[in-house]
Amino acid sequence: MTFVSVSGLLVTRGWTNCSGDRRHCCSWMRPERSAYGSARRVSRLSGKSVISTTMTVSKKAERIQTFLKDAEGLGTVRFINMSAGSVLETIGRFDYGVRVFETPRGEYVSISTTDRTFECHLNTEKVAKITMSKEAAKMGGHDLFVIRFRDEDEEILLSCLLMWNPSEGPGQYLAHAVESFNVLMAKYGGSYDLA
């Protein structure tokens, strides 16, 4: 399993050397890093509540969920997370399952496939705004359609770019995706303050 924790974002992608038993695969993870697996085991063994099963969802989490619901029409997007020492890129969709959960590290909005081969978790305490823009690519000169989840200091926590049409290459997008992006930009005015 690939596991990354950067600036309030947790991303898991796929399983390696896995027997398929999630309890076994997650046994190495610390409870505060996991929204499942070992955290539940620690909760059962210690009697302490690690994950809340009945929780009140914050207004910010509700706003993020609303935005993700509105962004479902974008189709496949490229999720990009950069840190001082690495760049993680993968493809996913906003129309995967979206849920809210709480850990000792805070409240998260999670986007994940039903089989959990793709998961992206946004810490609602860290995400302050969502911005949308059409920008020129640094290489290639084509247009990029970008959604960024930012913190209070305008630092980028996560970038999501419309994925190009795989049969045509970079800069060639499916028409419905660009139309959906333009509708999203018109609705939110290019920036959505979550405060």
Instruction: At 190, list the tokens.
Output: 């290019």
Parts of the chain with a pLDDT under 50 = 1-7, 11-52
pLDDT confidence of residue 38: 40
- pTM score, whole prediction: 0.72
Place of tokens 């009945």: 54
The total number of residues written for the chain in this structure: 195
Residue type, 55: M
Q: Residue 108: helix, strand or coil by DSSP? A: strand
pLDDT confidence of residue 21: 44
Q: Residue 18: helix, strand or coil by DSSP? A: coil
Task: Compute and round to an integer the Cα radius of gyration of the chain.
Answer: 17
Q: Check: CB of residue 161 under 8 Å from CB of residue 77.
A: yes
Whole-angstrom distance, CA of residue 92 vs CA of residue 75:
8
Whole-angstrom distance, CA of residue 20 vs CA of residue 40:
18
β-pairing, 129-136 with 118-123? unpaired
Instruction: At 169, list the tokens.
Output: 């290459």
Q: Check: CB of residue 124 under 8 Å from CB of residue 107.
A: yes
pLDDT confidence of residue 175: 85
